[in-house]
Structures are given as C-alpha cells and as structure tokens.
A and B are shown apart, each in its own frame.
Chain A
Amino acid sequence: MRYLLRRLGTLVPVAIGVATLTFAMIHLVPGDPVVAMLGETAAPADVAGLRHQLGLDRPIGEQYVDFLAGLMRGNLGESISYHRPVAGLIAERFPATLELTIAGLVVGVLVAFPLGIVSGANPGGPADLGAMGFAILGISIPHIYLGPLLMIVFSLDLRWFPLTGRGGLAHLVLPAVTLGTALAAVIARMLRQSLVVVRESDYMRTARSKGRGAMAALLIHGLRNAMTSVVTLVGLQAGALLTGALITEMIFSWPGIGRLLIGAIGARDYPLVEGCVLTFAFTYVVVNMATDLLYGIVDPRVRLE
C-alpha cells in the first residue's frame, strides 16, 4: 500500500513536466502558429485579431498559468477547426484508441505464447526455426507496409474483413494484427530465450526427476518464471504500441486520437494538437505505472523494496 502511494506520488511531477514541455514546444518553438493558420499572405490586422482571440498576445507566463489551471479542471481549450472544446473531442475518440491498443496487445500476447513455447521447447528444431523466422519478419516489417498488405489480401482480395473504419469485431481484426505483429515477435523471442534458460536449470531437473513430463514441467515452471519478463517487456513496448496505434489509425481510418492528432496538425489546430499530445503522454505515464504495480503482483520480491 505504501509502495502504491509512493508510486502515485511520482506521477505528479512527471505530469507537470509533460504538460510544461508540451506547452513549451507549441508556444516557444520558432514559427508563428497564427501565421501558419492564416497563411503567409494574411493581412497583419487579421493576424493580430486571431492572436488576440486565441489569447496569444498575452504574456507567456500568464498563458502558461492559465494552461495549467485549465488542465487541472480538465479544460484543454477550444478546438479551432471543430469550434468545440478539445476535451470533449478527445473523450469521444479515446475509447477507439483504447480498443485498438488493447486488441493489438491481445493479438501480440496470443500469437507470442504458442510461438515462444514451440521454439523454446525444442530449440534448434524445425518449429523453432519457423517460429523465429516469423519473429524476425514480424520485427522487421513496418506497420506502414504490413497494414496496406493485409488490406489487399484479406479485404480487397479475399473480402473477409471490411477495409476501413470502426464497427464490430470484423473491423478490429486487421488493425489489431497490424499493430500486434511486432509485439508478438518481440515477446515470442523473449519467451523462447527464457524457456531455453529454464530448461537447463536445476529445478527443472528436479521437476523432471519427480516424474513430471518434460513438457508439463517446462510449461508450469518455465512460464511462471517468464511472466515477470513478459510484464517488463510489455511495459517497455507500451510506447511503441501507443504510437503504433496512431499510425495504424491513419492506415485504417480508425476514428481515434491518433487520427484526430494528425488531422489537427494538418489543420494547424494547435489547441487540439496540444490536447492530443498530452492525452498520449498521460496515457503512457499511467500505463507505465500500472506495469510497475503489476510487477508487485507477479513477482512478490519487488514489493519488499
């Protein structure tokens, strides 16, 4: 419990830091957003007008304090292109991104376990070579090629799944596979490594000599032992998974935060860009904390620290 509270306490400075860096990027990096919005040829009076309307003519310190105060109340300002509060837009799209990310994670884990077990149980065998070959392919193929490839084969050619958009489970399959393949490959490689090490260990010899079948012993002891590493790895891959979701959303026209962000960048809608960036970063920070806490559950030794 104390561990939980202490871990929660570290969230606050990181969150303030993330908000500050995002604010600084948008407000201090060279380049005038208002000129960018209106175009180089805009009349100076129009530029000044819009700047005043957006509150950009006030001192930077005042804007920053307002921004942080708004953030505390869940107010992310008004979107310029949608003429609606940014927080509302994000709340509408967030479930779609969450759904895609979780689906990617599920695909990653579901594919990784059989592959990792098949290779780790018999290293050097044909199944091992096949599974690890697939893993190398999975790590190397970029989302931006895998996604369109899956679209051609499974939706345009075989017509098994819809091409784009969000809907039922059928809509989710191709985006989830696009997103989850790299994760599956990384976890499968790690599982294999972990099982190979466990096979050689003393306690496995004990388990086998007790009369357990080699495979059962490997699965029971080996997998239990590998769980900490899987949790660590998923935590490490969470960032790649989140921005992978962003790119996957663009490929499959998936109506989530990623597509909202890229659209906002195109429309020079800086309040919306700011809101989307913050949402991704805060989600990531929370996910990281959750994996840390999950550690404590999977591996009791962590709690003692």
Chain B
Amino acid sequence: MKGMARNPSLTVGTAIVAMLLLVAALGPLAARSDPTAINLAESLARPGIGHPFGCDALGRDVFARVMYGARLSLGVSLSVVALSLVVGSLVGAIAGLAGGWIDETIMRAVDIVLAFPGILLAIALAAILGPGIVDLIVALSAMGWTTYARLVRGELLSLRERDYVQAAHVLGASPSRVVIRHLLPAVAGPMAVQATFGVGGIVAAEAALSFLGLGAMPPTPSWGNMLDAGRAFMLVAPYLTMAPGIAIGVTILGFNLLGDGLAQLAGTRS
C-alpha cells in the first residue's frame, strides 16, 4: 500500500496494462457481433444499445472491431518485442563477450540499422515483404532489435569490470556460469524496463503502418486501419475514429507509465 502512493506510475500502469491484456484475451467474447460482418442497413449507426461504439460505413460493429483490434495490436506488439529482445540480446551478448573485431563489426552493423530514422526501416521492409501479420512482425522486429543489442552490450561491458564478476572468474567459475549466474540477472532489470517502453512504441508503430496500408489489411480489424477508414467520416461519425484513437493512446500511456514505474522501482532498489 505504501509502495502504491510512492510509485503511482507503477500502480496506474499495471492497472491499465492488466486491463488491456484482459480486453485482448476476453474482449472478443464480450463482443457478440462478428467484427467483419457487413450490414449496410446499420451503416454509420450511432452508438447505442447493441452497438456501444456505433457502426462503421459498412455497418460493422465498432466495439467488436476495437476488441479484436486489441488482440491484434497487443499480439503483434508483444511478439515483436519478444523477438527483438531475443535477437537483440543474443547479438549484444556476442558483441560484448567476444570483444575485438567481432564486437567492432557487430556494432558498425547496428549503427547502420540505426541510421534509418524512426519507423522508416519497418515501412521499407513492410512495403517489400507485402501486407500480412507475419511480415508485419518481421518488419517491426528488424527495426526493434538494435536497442536491446546496444543495451546488453553496454551492460556487459560495465559489468565485466565489477568486483564480484572478476571474483567469480578468479575463483574458477566457467564463462557460461558467470554469464548465467552473474551477468544475466544483472541485465534483466534494465531489459525489462526497455521492453516495457518498447511495447508502447511498437503499438504506435504498428498502428502507423496499418494506417498507411502496410500492416494488417482490411477486413482484419486493426486500430490503425480503423482510424484510416474512419477519417473520411469524421464529421458525421466521429465515434468511428474516437474508439481506436483512444485505444491506441491508452495503450501507449499504460506501457509508458508501467515503464516509468519499473524504472523507478529498479532505481530505488540499487
């Protein structure tokens, strides 16, 4: 309870993220309508009983689409962060542990990937790979892994010099034992913080790609393509864009707050 008052970011962030995961898992069950069922009689229907967020131009239930969109958005983002985390950590660990020319080569390659600003690399790759969920995950991961590679390498380089790691070496611990027992637990904290912020960033990037027509393609509901489709009707039916717009905003907010909270938690511990 005392922790809650001291770290409101952690509390609110955890609550929002837990709610989102619940929505992604159970929301589609709560929405009784099929998110892709077209019913032109209810085109642009206002929010009301049966359709809490109204209907889009094709008469599809916006509530159902937002719920299924949560599943897609979080599913894609969590997959991307997991994939980036694994690939980035491996690459960063190889660079940090091997040192020398291997380190030099890997880090130059990371620099080149980082020379592509923001989501440009994901846009370019998504354009070449074509639309589709798996291609979307690959394109976003290609952009995301570098952060983790740099983080792991940096942490390893500074940890290597710490007394307790040196001591383990001197006492005859094998390199793999040092990595598993001493280095991995020390890197886990900063990685968790980074990954949490990462989910928020990928949610925004995924929405942007889908908005641009390079991610999840209609009729598959995604928050990004719902915003794109709803734009044309903003004056007559603002509820079409409000639901996915707020959903994206709340998701980014939730993961950012959780990241802040975790960083604060890690900071007070050390």
Contact = CB atoms under 8 A, between A and B. Distances in A.
B18 interface: no
Contacts, number: 127
Contacts of A148: 227, 231, 234, 241
B117 A239 contact: yes
Nearest to A36: B130
Nearest to B135: A31
Interface in B114-142: 115-120, 123-125, 127-130
Contacts of B208: 142-144, 243, 247
B213 A266 contact: yes
B111 interface: yes
Interface in B189-217: 204, 207-208, 211-214
A40 to B, nearest CB: 12
B84 interface: no
B261 to A, nearest CB: 13
Give the secondary structure class of A's interface. helix
Interface in A26-68: 26, 29-31, 36
Contacts of B224: 144
B124 A13 contact: no
Interface stretch (A102-110, A207-215, A220-228, A276-284): A276-284
Q: Which of A31, A140, A273 has the most CB of B within 10 A?
A: A140
Contacts of A31: 128-130
A25 B125 contact: yes
B90 interface: no
Interface in B164-222: 204, 207-208, 211-214
Contacts of A14: 111-112, 115
Interface stretch (B36-44, B50-58, B250-258): B250-258
A291 interface: no
Interface string A159-191: 000000000000000000000000000000000
Most buried by A among B116, B244, B245, B248: B116
B248 A25 contact: no
B99 interface: no
A250 B123 CA distance: 13
B141 to A, nearest CB: 14
A244 B112 contact: no
Nearest to B128: A29
Interface residues of A, number: 49
B235 interface: yes
A21 interface: yes
B248 A145 contact: yes
B235 A281 contact: no
Contacts of B117: 238-240, 242-243, 280-281, 283-284
B228 interface: yes
Contact of A285 (B115, B127, B227): B115
3 closest Cβ pairs, A-B complex: A243-B118, A145-B245, A239-B117
Given A144-B245, A144-B248, A247-B211, 10 more contacts: A17-B108, A17-B109, A17-B115, A18-B112, A140-B252, A141-B245, A141-B249, A145-B246, A277-B116, A281-B115
26 contacts: A14-B111, A17-B111, A17-B115, A18-B112, A21-B113, A22-B124, A25-B124, A29-B128, A136-B253, A137-B249, A139-B252, A142-B204, A142-B248, A144-B227, A145-B244, A145-B246, A149-B245, A242-B120, A243-B208, A244-B118, A250-B211, A277-B124, A280-B120, A281-B120, A284-B117, A285-B115
